[in-house]
Amino acid sequence: VPRLRKFIRFNQKLIENTDFQFRVIYSDEVATVNNGKTVTVKLKDVNSKRGSGWADFYIWDSKDGWTGKNPIRFDFEKMILASNNTITTDPNEYILTKHIEADYFKTATLPVFTDATSTFYPDAHPETYTFDGSLYNGWDAWSTIRDGAHTPVVYDQDNATTSGAFGLGSRYISGMGYAIERNIFLFRYNIPSGAIINSVTQSIWTNSKSDNDNDASAYLTVVSTTPASNTALTPSSDWGCFGSTKWSSDQDITNITTGQYLDFTYNSTGKSQFTPDGTDRIIKTGMREGHDFDNHPITADGSGVSPYFADQTGTANDPKLEITFTTPTITLASNAPVAANKCAGTTKVAIQSFSLTITNSDGNLTDVDFTTTGSYTQADISKYQLWYRATTNDISGASQLGTDLTSSGNAGARSFAAFTSPTLANNTTYYFWITADIASPVTDGHTIAVNSITTTNLTSTSNKAGSASLGGEQTLKATPTTATNGSTQSICTTSSATLSGNSPTVGSGSWTVESGPSTSSSQFGNTST
């Protein structure tokens, strides 16, 4: 099914009204229907494969998310260059224009997004990936018909040229027995990796209805199906492929208005059937009338509707599946460590740090790579580790992500092994630290730092934004040797050192603590030499 990626992300505010255009070229001539809310696209030859459609042209920000969405204006027009007859344009080229108004950004919280609904349709004949159709079983005892003892009649709709050729429902006629008709609809869909499905709506256009047994079972509902083929009905087996668990809310036949779409809103069970992984997949659905679903024999002639199918004339009334989803965003920001001296043997030294703020829905992170700089050598570093913590910018309570990365080579690019992402909750900021364990001994004065972290350094199925600055340079300090002259001696140790000064007969002086848990001299009994 042809698809257009029409999702736009704004990382800065618009200062004037702006049009964004998408150029769309189809491989064959298509027919389009634009009702101001949705666009339906189908190959003009009704015997060709179904196309796709777009709906829900909205804009929303990071504060209120999808629940605070506002509609936007759009146009979908065929490309025309009437001013220059010498230029040949593709006859199947269209321009989708989205009109974004600057006023929206005055109160919006960045980033801002537009569009998150995809619409899918069954294939018409000749079916390539999916199909729709109807199975009709009658006339006999209720249990005989419902349990499929009769081989049902197949209506795959390939030859249907008018609406309502067959129906969806249950019947009873005295002296003849019972009849049941069920519908199958397969849809080929694609949802981006990491997307959170907000809602799913399956719709059929109803041409007519019958409500002659208006009891509690006079309704329609969506269920699963497992047809033997993805492109055709198989009467010997497909009657029994309809599920017994509801995927949607019920539609009371009494309340149905014909001549328009009838929408079935998926429940949590139905929504859980979809896999957002960025690949083409097929969802197999069916519709059953309530007497059939409840195993409640009907007592009158007719409870159901006559729907349109994909092969019937026209495109505007075809069965459709609309999936509304939200793609999570992780926004990268700086939390770089400051430059400092680090003693030989010091562990868990932060050489880079950044934060990720999660918006729209829960996000994920499965790998981090980074590039070290400086004069250090492989022998100066024992290993690297990655740590994270929610909300609090303090490494002391952080948890390690993944496994240790052993030191190898001098400065350069390196990557942690891929890890299972923790749950990065919506509307939460997480802090991350890349640390190094300093070896002992080290070459005194060698340095190490980490380049700026960008979104390309992060592996995630979420949308990524932002950047982080260069980490402060860490200078490695060797364990001190004994000073035998009057020169200044820097002492760096993670344990203890014995200090002795000049003989009072030669001179006098004092020593100070330059860095450590405390630089106050009050922690020592005497700093005089």
DSSP string, 280-308: -EEEEEEEEEHHHHHT----SS-EEEEE-
Q: What are phi and psi of 365, to 5 degrees?
A: -150, 125
Q: What pLDDT shows up at residue 80?
A: 53
pLDDT band (50, 70, 90) for residue 104: confident
Q: 297 and 156, same structural domain? A: yes
The last residue of one of the domains, among 263, 294, 326, is 326
User: For position 507, what pLDDT does the model report?
Assistant: 45
pLDDT tier for residue 42 given thresholds of 50, 70 and 90: low
pLDDT, position 157: 60
Task: Give the other-Cβ count within 10 Å of 137's Cβ.
Answer: 23
Predicted confidence (pLDDT) per residue in 132-170, tens digit: 999 999 999 999 999 987 777 776 665 555 554 468 999
pLDDT of residue 362: 84
Find the mean pLDDT for residues 457-485: 84
Residues 6+ apart with CB under 8 A from 303: 169, 170, 171, 210, 211, 212, 213, 214, 217, 218, 253, 289, 290, 291
Regarding whether 374 and 314 lie in a shared domain, the answer is: no
Question: Which amino acid is present at 274?
Answer: F
Higher pLDDT, 23 or 487: 23
pLDDT digits (tens, 9 = 90+) for 332-351: 999 999 999 999 999 999 99
Query: What percentage of the chain carries pLDDT values higher than 90?
Result: 50
Q: Judge if 170 and 318 occupy the same domain.
A: yes
Q: What is the pLDDT of residue 34?
A: 67
Please check whether residue 3 lies inside any domain of the structure.
no
**Per-residue pLDDT for 499 more than 80?**
no
Q: Show contacts of 42-48: CB within 8 Å, 24+ apart.
A: 42/121, 42/315, 42/318, 46/124, 46/311, 46/313, 47/124, 47/125, 47/126, 48/124
109-128 average pLDDT score: 75
Mean pLDDT throughout 46-53? 46
Burial level of 431, CB count in 10 A (0-12/13-18/19+)?
buried
**Residue 494 falls within a domain, yes or no?**
no
Higher pLDDT, 204 or 525: 204
| pLDDT value of residue 504 | 42
Q: Which residues of 293-313 are buried (b: 16+ CB within 10 A; e: fewer)?
A: beebbbebebbbbbbbbbbbe
Region 364-370: mean pLDDT is 95
Q: What is the pTM for the complete model shown? A: 0.61
| Per-residue pLDDT at 90 | 62
Give the residue with greater pLDDT, 315 vs 329.
Answer: 329
Reported as a pLDDT band with limits 50, 70 and 90, residue 85 is very low
Q: Are residues 37 and 142 in the same domain?
A: no
How much is the pLDDT for 161?
53
Q: Give the residue, 527 or 210, on which the prediction is more confident.
A: 210
| Residues in Cβ contact with 12 at an 8 Å cutoff, skipping those fewer than 6 apart | 110
What is the rounded average pLDDT for all residues in the chain? 82
| Residue 86 confidence class, pLDDT cut points 50, 70, 90 | very low
Within a domain: 137:
yes
Residues 345, 318 share a domain:
no
What type of residue sits at position 256? Answer: I
Asked if residue 488 belongs to a domain, the reply is no
Going by pLDDT thresholds of 50, 70 and 90, the confidence category of residue 48 is: very low
Check pLDDT > 60 for residue 52. Answer: no
My answer on whether 338 and 212 are in the same domain is: no
Chain centroid offset of residue 76 CA: 26
Count of domains for the chain: 4
* 259 & 316 share domain: yes
Distance in angstroms (rounded) separating the CA atoms of residues 347 and 343: 9
Among 115, 145, 172, the domain-final residue is: 115
Q: Render pLDDT for 223-232 as a digit per residue (tens, 0 to 9).
A: 999 999 999 9
Q: Tens digits of per-residue pLDDT, 164-221?
A: 446 899 999 999 999 999 999 999 998 877 788 889 999 999 999 999 999 999 999 9
245/370 same-domain check: no
Of 17-31, 190-204, 255-269, 330-344, the poorest mean pLDDT is in 17-31
Q: Which domain holds residue 156?
A: 132-326
| 97 shares its domain with 184 | no
Backbone angles phi, psi at 395, to 5 degrees: -70, -20
Give yes or no for residue 260 having a pLDDT over 50.
Answer: yes
**pLDDT at 512 > cutoff 80:** no
Is the pLDDT confidence value at 462 over 80? Answer: yes
| Tens-digit pLDDT profile for residues 394-446 | 999 999 999 999 999 999 999 999 999 898 998 999 999 999 999 999 999 99
What is the C-alpha separation between 403 and 467, in angstroms, rounded? 24
Q: What is the pLDDT of residue 506?
A: 43
> Within this chain, do residues 32 and 102 fall inside the same structural domain, yes or no?
yes
pLDDT higher at 174 or 490: 174
Residue whose token pair is 């869909």 = 189
Q: Report yes or no on 251 lying in a domain.
A: yes
User: CA nearest 302: which of 207, 151, 168?
Assistant: 168
pLDDT band at 503 (very low <50, low <70, confident <90, very high): very low
Task: Answer with the residue of higher pLDDT: 524 or 129.
Answer: 129
pLDDT value of residue 108: 83
Dihedral sign for Cα atoms in the order 131, 286, 187, 36: positive
Is residue 147 located within the same domain as residue 20? no
Q: Is residue 123 part of a domain?
A: no
Q: Are residues 387 and 403 in the same domain?
A: yes
Q: What secondary structure does DSSP assign to 9-51, as a single string?
A: EESS--SS-EEEEEEEE-SS-EEEEE-SSEEEEEESSTTSPP-
Q: Which two tokens stand for residue 156?
A: 């795959």
Q: What mean pLDDT is predicted for residues 360-374?
A: 93
pLDDT category at 68 given cuts 50, 70, 90 is confident
Query: In a 10 Å sphere around its CB, with 0-12 CB exposed, 13-18 middle and 19+ buried, how is residue 404 labelled?
Result: middle
Let me know if residue 222 belongs to a domain. Answer: yes
Predicted confidence at residue 3, as pLDDT, reads 36
Q: Assess if residue 62 is contained within a domain.
A: yes
508, burial (CB in 10 Å: exposed 0-12, middle 13-18, buried 19+)? exposed
Q: Residue 487: pLDDT above 90?
A: no
